[in-house]
Amino acid sequence: MRILTGVQPSGKLHLGNFFSVIRKLKEYQNSTDLFCFVADLHSLTTFSSKEKQNENSYNALCDFLALGIDPNKCTFWLQSSVPEVTELTWYLSHSISVNQLNLAHSYKDKVAKGFNPGGGLFLYPVLMAADILGFDSDRVPVGKDQKQHLEFARDIASSFNREIGPVFKIPEPEIDEATALVPGTDGQKMSKSYGNTINFFDTEKELKKSIMSIMTDSAGVDEAKDPEKSHIFAIHSLFLNQTERESLKQKFLIPGTGYGDLKKQLLQDTLDYFAPYRKEREKIASDPTFVNTALKQGRDKARNTITTVLDRVRKELGIYRF
Ligand code: ADP
Ligand code: TRP
C-alpha cells in the first residue's frame, strides 16, 4: 500500500494541517510505504519573492523532519528536485478539458474575487495529479478542501487509461471526517488565507495571542456555555481522548469557568503537546547538512519511482526514445 501526500510550503504550519494530515503520517511511515513531499512548485502560484520562496521551503522541510518524518522510513523530498513531475504534468494536461479545469475551486474562487490568475494556477490540479499518479499512489490523505483536486486526478487517470493506455493506478482520497475541517480562531476553516490560524511553531507569545483571540459568545463566568457551539472546545478536542473531552465538556456546562481560563488551558495543552517537536525543530533548523542529506536521499528514491511510471507513459504516447 503506497500512501502519498504533499503540503505547500506557504507559511507556518497550523493545527488544521497537523490534525488533518501530518499526525497520521508518522503512523503511516511505520506501517505502509509512505511518500511525502513539500510542494514548492505549487507554492509558486502565490510567489512573492525569491527570499520568501526559499525560506518557506526550508522552514517546511524542517517542520516535517521535526514532526517526526523519518527519511529512513519514508520517501521524503522537495517537489522541485524531481523535475520529472513537470514532464508528466504536460502529458497529463491533454487528458483533462479546459471546461473541467475551469471548475476547479482553487482557480474559480480567484476569478470570482476579481483576480486575473496566471496559467500556473489554472494547471495547478494537473501538477497535483502528476504528483499523485507519477508515484503509483494507492491512497492520498488530504483535508476536505483538496477533495476536488483528488477527483480531478482520478478523472485524468481514468481518461488516460481509457484513451491512451492502461498506465495509472486510480488513487483513493482519504479524508478524515472528524478532522476534515478544523475551525480557526473565528470559527471559519483554519487557513493561512483567513488569518485565523494557530501555528504550533510560533513563539509562546504569538501562540498566546492567537489562542486568546478565539471568538466566543458573551457568556460570563457564572453562566453555562454550550461546548458544541464553542470554537475553543472544537479546537481543544483535537488534543483530547474521549474521557478528557467529556471532562472538558463539563467545564463548559457547569458555570464557574470563564472563556479566559478555558483559553489558558488550551494554550497550556498546546505548549505541552508540541514541546518536544519545538525543541527538535530548533536543532534541525540549525543543521542544514542534516536537512540536505535527508533531501538527497528522498529525491533519489522519488526520481527512481517516477521514472518507471514515466517510461510507461512515454511508451503509450509513442514518445521517440533513443
Ligand atoms: P491553508 O488553508 O492554511 O493554506 P494548506 O492548503 O497549506 O492550508 O493545507 C495543507 C494540508 O492541510 C491540506 O491537506 C489541507 O487540506 C489540510 N488543511 C488545511 N487547513 C485545514 C483545516 N482547517 N482543517 C482540515 N485540514 C486542513
Ligand atoms: N494542493 C495541496 C494543498 O494545497 C498540496 C499538494 C500538492 C498535494 N500536491 C499534492 C496534496 C499531492 C496531496 C497530493 O494542500
pLDDT of residue 131 exceeding 90: yes
Residue 179 has a pLDDT of: 66
Write out the three cell numbers for 200.
504550533
Is the distance from CB of 224 to CB of 252 less than 8 angstroms?
yes
| Atom 15 (ligand 2) nearest CA | 7
pLDDT of residue 114 exceeding 80: yes
Write out the three cell numbers for 30.
511505520
Ligand 1 centre to CA of 294 (Å) is: 25
31, 145: one domain:
yes
pLDDT tens-digit map of 44-60: 999 999 999 999 999 99
What are the phi and psi torsion angles at 142 (to 5°)?
Answer: -145, 170
87, 217: one domain:
no
In a domain, 195, yes or no: no
pLDDT of residue 20 exceeding 90: no
Rounded mean pLDDT of the chain? 95
d(CA 21, CA 39) in angstroms, rounded, equals 14
Ligand 1 centre to CA of 42 (Å) is: 14
Question: What's the whole-number mean pLDDT along residues 70-87?
Answer: 98
271, 306: one domain:
no
Question: What's the whole-number mean pLDDT along residues 176-200?
Answer: 88
Q: pLDDT band for position 178 (50/70/90)?
A: low
181 lines ligand 1 (CB under 6 A): yes
Q: Is 223 exposed, middle or buried (0-12, 13-18, 19+ CB in 10 A)?
A: exposed
pLDDT tens-digit map of 261-276: 999 999 999 999 999 9
In a domain, 162, yes or no: yes
d(CA 137, CA 308) in angstroms, rounded, equals 13
Ligand 1 centre to CA of 191 (Å) is: 6
Domain of 120 in residue numbering reads as 2-181+287-317
74, 152: one domain:
yes
Backbone angle region of 175, left / alpha / beta, with phi > 0 → left and psi within -120 to 50 → alpha = beta
145 lines ligand 1 (CB under 6 A): yes
Cα angle 260, 266, 272; round to 5: 140
97, 231: one domain:
no
22, 145: one domain:
yes
d(CA 109, CA 312) in angstroms, rounded, equals 35
Tell me the CATH number at 253: 1.10.240.10
22, 140: one domain:
yes
The whole-model pTM stands at: 0.89
In a domain, 193, yes or no: no
In a domain, 111, yes or no: yes
In a domain, 97, yes or no: yes
In a domain, 189, yes or no: no
d(CA 219, CA 221) in angstroms, rounded, equals 7
Q: pLDDT band for position 11 (50/70/90)?
A: confident
Is the distance from CB of 81 to CB of 57 less than 8 angstroms?
no
211, 66: one domain:
no
| Atom 22 (ligand 1) nearest CA | 16
Residue 193 has a pLDDT of: 82
More confident residue, 124 or 177: 124
Tell me the CATH number at 152: 3.40.50.620
Residue 260 has a pLDDT of: 96
Closest ligand to the CA of 145 = 1
In a domain, 219, yes or no: yes
Question: What's the whole-number mean pLDDT along residues 31-52?
Answer: 96
70, 204: one domain:
no
Domain count, the chain: 2
- Site to probe by mutation for ligand 2, drawn from 2, 3, 8, 137 as the one with most ligand atoms within 8 Å of Cβ, is 8
Is the distance from CB of 102 to CB of 108 less than 8 angstroms?
yes
176, 154: one domain:
yes
Residue 17 has a pLDDT of: 87
Give Cα 149 to chain centroid, integer Å: 13
> DSSP code of 211?
H
